[in-house]
Homo-oligomer: A and B are copies of this chain.
Amino acid sequence: MNDVDIRKKIDSIVCDAKSNLASIMHSNVSKRDLALKTIADLLIDNKNQLLEENRKDIESAKSMGLPDPMIERLTLDEKTIEGMVESIGTIINLKDPLNRVLEERKLKNGVFLKKISVPIGVIGIIYESRPNVTVDCAALCIKSGNACILKGGKEALHSNRFLSGLIKKGCAMSSGLNENVVQFIDITDREAIKYLLQKNDFIDLIIPRGGEGLIKFIVENSKIPVIKQYKGICHVYVDDKADIDKAIKICINAKVQRPSVCNAIECIVVHEKAAKEFLPVLKEKFDELGVEIRGCKRTADFIDCVSATEKDWDSEFLDLTVAVRIVGDLDEAIGFINEHGTKHSEAIISENEENTEKFFSEIDAACLYSNTSTRFTDGFEFDMGAEIGISTDKIHARGPMGLKELTTYKYLLKSNGLIR
């Protein structure tokens, strides 16, 4: 496809989304839930064809020599499809995030003010690989009354195209919503994303889900507000007042349970007074679990370990590797974490309330934990019922984002003829 055709296609997609936005934006929740129910049914009814489309993606991924973990993420089976259906069911059962009364008061000037939650409008979601993201994101947007424009990775093109077809059909079948409130971009060229990001008159928000490269590209090219989900370089700080058993248990959980996710830890910061008791036990456990420790110079005084390089303090390993840094006091720990963290999730292990409060107050991050694993930073764990991602931004939404974070608000003001 040449650039002119790409632009024409994108123009028509964003225009279709915006001009049909009203049909979902002002719909009541029973209509939106009915659309979701229909989509879930269509997924079950069209399972075989979906698996067939998915097979095309897998074959082409294999022929392109994509690495196994990527192919694994791409692959659908009966179970993952059931998972999608279940996920839609969960979203149906969530409370309507719209028309919540956020404030209600009479102003000094006599006007009666009411602030209510409303949809944001048209949301563009740019993501990579997993086809279930197509269903999850569309379902969250539908439930929250937003139109969405989906742009998935090229590896999952056949699966995503088929899935978005089902979603559009589900919207159209359930009377009232228009199929155009869900749009799918099947152009694989990056030029398409670049041009899409200029459409700030049509799209209200961009949510990217993917690697650092994709997100940086989007931030550099977007005229539309972006809520970023950057990497998580998360720390556990083991205080001199730590309960060492808790510290060990939490470090193991936060590093080992699922090392490939953003809320896993990459670095353990240890108070010098805790090092002697803590590090040898950690070393023993991590050896058993196959975790490589990359320690600072002082760490080597206590345990055998690989020497950490400067780069290690800023690395999201996403595997069984952990950096260890010894600090002289809590202030040094806070300074180190504020410098190398990505404002995602940070934990302190301490029995001292004052130290915990200082850590909570002085570290700039979305989620701060006391004697608790960083792995809890997650929309489901936060009882949001669903998650569109975890924001490392500070504007609009921070940390896990569910339905509420897909809304904005408006003010409704009434009086009997008041003027200024």
Q: Which residues of A contact B (CB under 8 A)?
A: 22, 25-26, 105, 107-109, 111, 113, 118, 120-121, 200, 204-205, 219-220, 223, 225-227, 243, 245-246, 249-250, 252-254, 257, 338, 356, 360-362, 364-373, 375-376, 381-383, 393-396, 398-399, 408-420
Contact = CB atoms under 8 A, between A and B. Distances in A.
Contacts of A22: 338, 362
A414 B371 CA distance: 7
Contacts of A25: 364
* A-B residue pairs, 5 tightest by C-beta: A253-B419, A375-B420, A396-B396, A246-B417, A394-B408
A419 B366 contact: no
A106 to B, nearest CB: 10
B398 A410 contact: yes
Nearest to A106: B383
Number of copies: 2
15 contacts: A105-B383, A225-B225, A243-B417, A252-B419, A253-B419, A254-B419, A360-B412, A367-B410, A367-B413, A370-B412, A372-B413, A372-B417, A372-B418, A382-B411, A394-B408
A372 B111 contact: yes
A155 B178 CA distance: 52
A225 B395 contact: yes
Contact of A121 (B249, B382, B394, B417): B394
B121 A364 contact: yes
B373 A420 contact: yes
Nearest to A415: B372
A397 to B, nearest CB: 8
Contact of A396 (B223, B246, B395): B395
Contacts of A412: 360, 368, 370
Nearest to A367: B411
Contact of A376 (B362, B373, B410, B420): B420
A14 to B, nearest CB: 16
A55 B223 CA distance: 39
A214 to B, nearest CB: 15
Given A253-B419, A408-B394, A409-B398, A414 B383 contact: no
Contacts of A225: 225-226, 393, 395
Contact of A107 (B219, B381, B399): B381
A370 B107 contact: no
Given A109-B376, A368-B413, A398-B409, 18 more contacts: A26-B361, A107-B382, A108-B383, A120-B394, A120-B395, A205-B394, A225-B395, A246-B417, A250-B419, A252-B419, A253-B420, A254-B419, A366-B411, A372-B419, A382-B411, A396-B396, A398-B408, A398-B410
